[in-house]
Amino acid sequence: MPEQIDWQPLHDRAVEMTARAYAPYSGYPVGVAGLVDDGRVVAGCNVENAGYGVTLCAECGMVSDLVAGGGGRLVAVWCVDGRGETLMPCGRCRQLVWEHGGADCLLQTPEGVLRMDEVLPQAFGAENLDRR
Ligand code: THU
């Protein structure tokens, strides 16, 4: 439930991460933080590249932090822009969060806290591959 998540530390961490972003091409820093089911907070920032399409979104870094730090399930995620405003993760990054948080994971959005299955309905996931 949204009320049970301590959101402020996630926002603080996401804002901290925007200061570490490498965004010389877009000038658009992004930071993200996620609460893991074991209580850890994982985070990431965007890392751009001269080959624009190679750019890593902030959520990529967060997921890498999650897995490299021992794994677990994301239960809440907050992504922000360079002004600390809530940023809706791009489509690809919703898929990343889906993989590691699933339908129940909560996401801060410009329209308030939503579940992942509200922002990525009918998602493709591991269950689909189980039916192969
Ligand atoms: N960006 C993210 O880091 N996450 C998103 O969900 C949307 C976009 C970054 C990628 C790029 O460095 C910059 O924002 C502008 O697109």
Q: Closest residue (by CA) to atom 3 of ligand 1?
A: 57
Its pTM stands at 0.96
**CB distance 96 to 56 below 8 Å:** no
Say what the pLDDT of residue 131 is. 83
Note down pLDDT in tens along the chain; length 132 residues. 445 999 999 999 999 999 999 999 999 999 999 999 999 999 999 999 999 999 999 999 999 999 999 999 999 999 999 999 999 999 999 999 999 999 999 999 999 999 999 999 999 999 999 888
- d(CA 90, CA 31) in angstroms, rounded, equals 13
**CB distance 129 to 18 below 8 Å:** no
Domains of the chain in start order, with CATH, are 2-129 (3.40.140.10)
Angle, helices 58-68 vs 91-101, to 10°: value is 20
Say what the pLDDT of residue 3 is. 54
- CA end-to-end span of the chain, whole Å? 34
Token look-up 């897995």 returns 67
The token pair that represents 9 in the structure block? 């530390």
**CB distance 66 to 36 below 8 Å:** yes
Q: Report the candidate in 40, 98, 26 with the shortest Cα–Cα distance to residue 68.
A: 40
Q: Closest residue (by CA) to atom 6 of ligand 1?
A: 89
CA 110 / ligand 1 centre spacing (Å) = 16
Say what the pLDDT of residue 132 is. 81
CA 81 / ligand 1 centre spacing (Å) = 9
Say what the pLDDT of residue 2 is. 46
CA 28 / ligand 1 centre spacing (Å) = 7
99 belongs to the catalytic site: no
